[in-house]
C-alpha cells in the first residue's frame, strides 16, 4: 500500500471518529436541555429567563449537530475515493490529500490506530478491476444491512420505553389528581403536562422516529444492493461501468443514512464476522478468502 492510500484510510478513520464524537455531544446537549426544562418546571423559574436559556441551549445543540454532519460529509467523501481506488485501482490524487491535511493541524492523523484503519479494508483477494469492486461493495453492503437492522431494534426499544414511561406518568398524574385538593390539582396538571411535553419534544428533537425509519430504509437498500452484486458476480463479464453503477447506488444510500454508532460494532462485530465468513463464499462463488 502506498503512502497516499494509507493516509486516505487514516483520514476515513479520523473523520468518522470525530463525526461520532460530535454526535454524542449533540445527544448530551439534548439531554441537558431536557433536564433544564424539567428543573425549570419544578423550580418555577422566570419564564423569560427559562425561554432564553432554552433558546441558547437549542442553538448550541444545532451547532454541534452541524459539526457532526460536516465531519461525516468529509468522511464519506474520503471513503468514496478509497472504495474506487481499492476496487478499480484508480490512483488517489495526492494533491487532494495534501490540500486536505494542510487545512488541519500538524499531526492531525497521528492518533489513528491500526484497528481503526482495518475498518476500511476489504477481504477480496481478486486483482483490481470490476469484479473486485463489486465484491467490495457486496461486503460493505452486507455489513451495513445487518448493523442497520440492529440499530433499528435498539431505537424501537428506546421508543417503546419512552411511550410506556409517558403512559405510566399519565396514570400516576390521574391518580394524583383524584387525591389532590382543588388548589393542588392545577399545579399537578401543570407539572405533569410540562414534563410529558419536554420528554416528547426530546424524543422528536433527537429524531428517534426518523432515525428508526432511516436505518430500516438503509437496511432495505443495502439488501437490494446485495442482490445486484450477487447477480453481477454470477458472470465474469462484469464491466467497469456495471461496477461503478452498483458502487454509486450503494454510496448514495449510505451517504443519506445516519451514522452507525461504534457500540454496535463492539457488541455484534465478533458474531457478524463469523457469519460473514460463511456468507461470503456462498454469495460470491469464485471468491477465495
CB distance 134 to 229 below 8 Å: yes
pLDDT for 257: 92
pLDDT at 284: 46
The domains of the chain are located at: 1-121, 129-284
Looking from the CA of 4 toward its CB, the CA atoms found within 13 Å total 16
What local confidence, expressed as pLDDT, does residue 288 receive?
40
Span 42-71, pLDDT tens digits: 676 777 777 777 778 878 888 999 999 999
Write down the pLDDT at residue 289.
38
At residue 179, the pLDDT reads: 61
CA atoms of 20 and 155, how far apart (whole Å): 17
Question: What does the chain come to in residues?
Answer: 289
Mean pLDDT per block of 10 residues along the chain (289 residues) reads 83 94 89 75 70 80 92 93 91 87 90 83 88 93 94 90 75 64 55 63 71 93 93 86 94 92 88 85 46
Q: Given this model, what pLDDT does residue 151 score?
A: 94
What Rg value do the Cα atoms of the chain yield, rounded? 24
Question: For 11-42, what is the HEC assignment?
Answer: HHHHHHHHHHHHHHHHHHHHHHHHHHHHHHHH
Amino acid at each position: 500500500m502506498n503512502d497516499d492510500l494509507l493516509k486516505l484510510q487514516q483520514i476515513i478513520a479520523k473523520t468518522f471518529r470525530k463525526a461520532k464524537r460530535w454526535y454524542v455531544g449533540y445527544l448530551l446537549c439534548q439531554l441537558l436541555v431536557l433536564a433544564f426544562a424539567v428543573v425549570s418546571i419544578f423550580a418555577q423559574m422566570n419564564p423569560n429567563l427559562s425561554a432564553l436559556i432554552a433558546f441558547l441551549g437549542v442553538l448550541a445543540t444545532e451547532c454541534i449537530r452541524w459539526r457532526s454532519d460536516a465531519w461525516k460529509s468529509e468522511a464519506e467523501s474520503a471513503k468514496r475515493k478509497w472504495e474506487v481506488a481499492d476496487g478499480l485501482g484508480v490512483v488517489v490524487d495526492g494533491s487532494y490529500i495534501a490540500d486536505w491535511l494542510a487545512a488541519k493541524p500538524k499531526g492531525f492523523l497521528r492518533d489513528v490506530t491500526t484497528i481503526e484503519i482495518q475498518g476500511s479494508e476489504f477481504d477480496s483477494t481478486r486483482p483490481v478491476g470490476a469484479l473486485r469492486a463489486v465484491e467490495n461493495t457486496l461486503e460493505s453492503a452486507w455489513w451495513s444491512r445487518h448493523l442497520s437492522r440492529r440499530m433499528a431494534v435498539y431505537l424501537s426499544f428506546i421508543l417503546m420505553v419512552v411511550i410506556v414511561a409517558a403512559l405510566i406518568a399519565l396514570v400516576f398524574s390521574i391518580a394524583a389528581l383524584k387525591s389532590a385538593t382543588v388548589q393542588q390539582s392545577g399545579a399537578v396538571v401543570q407539572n405533569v403536562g410540562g414534563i410529558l411535553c419536554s420528554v416528547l419534544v426530546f424524543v422528536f428533537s433527537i429524531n428517534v422516529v426518523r432515525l428508526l425509519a432511516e436505518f430500516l430504509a438503509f437496511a432495505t437498500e443495502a439488501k437490494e444492493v446485495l442482490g445486484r452484486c450477487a447477480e453481477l458476480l454470477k458472470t465474469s463479464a462484469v464491466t467497469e461501468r456495471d461496477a461503478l453503477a452498483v458502487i454509486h447506488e450503494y454510496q448514495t444510500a449510505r451517504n443519506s443514512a445516519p451514522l452507525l454508532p461504534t457500540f454496535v460494532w463492539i457488541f455484534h462485530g465478533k458474531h457478524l464476522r463469523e457469519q460473514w465468513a460463511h456468507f461470503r463464499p456462498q454469495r460470491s462463488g469464485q471468491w477465495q478468502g
